[in-house]
Amino acid sequence: MILAASMNPDLLSALDDAIIRLKRGELHALEEVMAPYQQRLYRFLLRLTQEQAAAEDLFQQTWIRVMEKIGRYDARHPFTPWLFSVARNLAIDYLRQRRTGSLDVVDDSGTAPVDRLAGGELDPLERLLEFERGVVLASAIAKLPVIHREVLTLRFEEDMKLEQIAEVAGIPLSTVKSRLLRAMESLRGRLQRQ
Amino acid sequence: MNAHESIRAKLALAAAGALQENDLREVERHARECESCLRELELWGEYTRELRQLPQPVFPSNLLARTQARVLHDHESALHRRRNGLMLCSLAAYSWVVAFSAWIVARTLTGGTLEVFGTNLVDVGPWILTSWVLTWITAGVAAVTLGRRNPARRVL
């Protein structure tokens, strides 16, 4: 488990053990499996959907799906990409139902914080406070197409290798590279225009 | 595309740690000699550092508990459905076995003739029809009884 290797080895073996017990049908092992992934999985779903309620619902659906499919999970392969691919597929289904357009179009729905910052309604001090780099960057990411947000969060927040991103997204490695490059260039372009 | 342009196209991926070892070495070698590419690489480096330090969402405090409750409920429902399905299949098989055995016994006891309203009930057709009607009446009564004892739970 490449990703998990960066975690505490004791935690890793405990997690592996919990996954095996879950695979055997021991329902109480679920809490042990969920705990290390709760923040990461929720963040990933929130980055994709941009909606707290949807992210919460998809988080729950992901674990229900995990329980349904855990019997077919091959424990010789890393659990993290498998889990994220389950979550990703549910999120993509949700986004497809919500929107009629393609998933690679720019998401203009809702009001991103950056729009509120750009509007002249705030006083200078509030503007200064809100213009913190991270907020601006997160807002710019929120305006990117889903497929670009996906590769950015998997690469930089989940610290996944390109091969693992390819596994999660179900796309070839070369596509991951080109998406990552386009996502970074698009993000930089947006930030420079602000 | 000359060597400079080719390297420049790889700078973002180099900063993202998405290049193969030999490509990365090539980029680094070029950046040592080309000031504009070095500046560009450093700029991409800043972007990737910031991307790793984005503001983190707060995990909803009760989401874990709600998820566990939902998973448990879903798991129990699935088990219940499976049990019901198994029971239905078993009952169907049982009813066919009983109908067939009873037919054999009835034919033996009656010598192959049991006239009711001008119909020989121990013939294959009438016997199947009678068994089928009796089975559905029994299944209907059982379904109503079970439904009253085990009303569907509604979860918010």
pLDDT at A101: 47
Whether B45 and B91 share a structural domain? no
Mapping DSSP to helix (H, G, I), strand (E, B) and coil, where does residue B45 land? helix
Q: State whether B13 and A177 contact (CB < 8 Å).
A: yes
**B10 occurs within a structural domain:** yes
pLDDT at A139: 87
Whether B143 and B93 share a structural domain? yes
Q: Which domains, from first to last, does chain A contain? A: 4-107+144-193 (1.10.1740.10)
Q: Which of A88, A74, A152, A26 is nearest to B18 (CA)?
A: A152
Q: How near does any CA of chain B get to the CA of A97, in Å?
A: 23
**B59 occurs within a structural domain:** no
Q: State whether B75 and A56 contact (CB < 8 Å).
A: no
Q: How near does any CA of chain A get to the CA of B61, in Å?
A: 11
Q: pLDDT of A23-43, one tens digit each?
A: 988 888 999 999 999 999 999
Q: Which of A51, A80, A83 is nearest to A65 (CA)?
A: A83
Dist CA A188 CA B58 (whole Å): 26
- Residue bearing the bigger pLDDT, A126 or A159: A159
Q: pLDDT of B4-16, one tens digit each?
A: 888 999 999 999 9
Checking if the pLDDT of A192 tops 50, the result is yes
Whether B92 and B143 share a structural domain? yes
Whether A62 contacts A45, CB under 8 Å = yes
Whether B99 and B145 share a structural domain? yes
Among candidates B44, B55, B67 on the partner chain, residue whose Cβ is nearest the Cβ of A60: B67
Instruction: Report how far Cα A136 is from the mean position of its chain's Cα atoms.
Output: 19
**B73 occurs within a structural domain:** no
Q: pLDDT of A64-98, one tens digit each?
A: 999 999 999 998 889 999 999 999 999 999 999 88
**B65 occurs within a structural domain:** no
Residue B119 bridge partners (DSSP): B116
User: What is the domain extent for residue B124?
Assistant: 87-149
pLDDT at A117: 36
Whether A137 contacts B54, CB under 8 Å = yes
Sequence-ordered alpha helix ranges (H) in A24-161: 30-49, 52-69, 79-98, 113-118, 124-130, 133-142, 146-152
Mapping DSSP to helix (H, G, I), strand (E, B) and coil, where does residue A122 land? coil
Among candidates B51, B53, B57 on the partner chain, residue whose Cβ is nearest the Cβ of A152: B51
Q: How near does any CA of chain B get to the CA of A10, in Å?
A: 23
Dist CA B139 CA B92 (whole Å): 10
The radius of gyration of chain B from alpha carbons, rounded to an integer in Å, stands at 38
**B68 occurs within a structural domain:** no
pLDDT at A106: 53
- The DSSP secondary structure of A48-65, one letter per residue, reads HH--HHHHHHHHHHHHHH
Mean pLDDT, residues A169-174 taken together: 95
Checking if the pLDDT of A167 tops 50, the result is yes
Whether B91 and B142 share a structural domain? yes
Whether A67 contacts B74, CB under 8 Å = yes
Q: Which of A94, A129, A99 is nearest to A113 (CA)?
A: A129
For the ranges A51-60, A167-176, B14-23, B98-107, the lowest mean pLDDT is seen at B98-107
Length, in residues, of chain B: 156
> How wide is the angle at C-alpha B66 spanned by C-alphas B63 and B68, nearest 5°?
110
pLDDT at B63: 94
- Residue bearing the bigger pLDDT, A46 or A104: A46
- What is the 8-class DSSP label of residue A129? H
B contact test, residue of A37, A49, A56, A192 with most B CBs within 10 A: A56
**B127 occurs within a structural domain:** yes
- B71 to chain A: which residues are within 8 Å by CB? 27, 30, 60, 63-64, 67
- Report how far apart, in Å, the C-alpha atoms of A167 and of each of A83, A85, A156, A182 are: 11, 7, 16, 19
Q: State whether B44 and A184 contact (CB < 8 Å).
A: yes
Q: How confident is the model at residue A120 (pLDDT cuts 50, 70, 90)?
A: very low
Q: How near does any CA of chain B get to the CA of A35, in Å?
A: 8
pLDDT at B144: 87
Q: Interface pTM (ipTM) of the complex?
A: 0.74
- A155 to chain B: which residues are within 8 Å by CB? 16, 18
Average pLDDT of every residue of chain A: 82
Q: How confident is the model at residue A12 (pLDDT cuts 50, 70, 90)?
A: low
**B30 occurs within a structural domain:** yes
- B54 to chain A: which residues are within 8 Å by CB? 134, 137-138, 141, 156-157
Q: State whether B71 and A67 contact (CB < 8 Å).
A: yes
Dist CA B134 CA A102 (whole Å): 56
- pLDDT tens for chain B, 156 residues long, are 678 888 999 999 999 999 999 999 999 999 999 999 999 999 999 999 999 988 899 999 899 999 999 999 998 888 888 898 898 899 888 888 988 898 899 889 888 888 888 888 888 898 888 888 988 898 888 888 877 766 555 444
Mapping DSSP to helix (H, G, I), strand (E, B) and coil, where does residue A13 land? helix
Residues 6+ apart with CB under 8 A from A97: none
- Residue bearing the bigger pLDDT, B141 or A110: B141
> What is the total count of domains within chain B?
2
Q: How near does any CA of chain A get to the CA of B91, in Å?
A: 27
Among candidates B18, B52, B64 on the partner chain, residue whose Cβ is nearest the Cβ of A34: B64
**B56 occurs within a structural domain:** no
pLDDT at B79: 86
- B66 to chain A: which residues are within 8 Å by CB? 56, 60
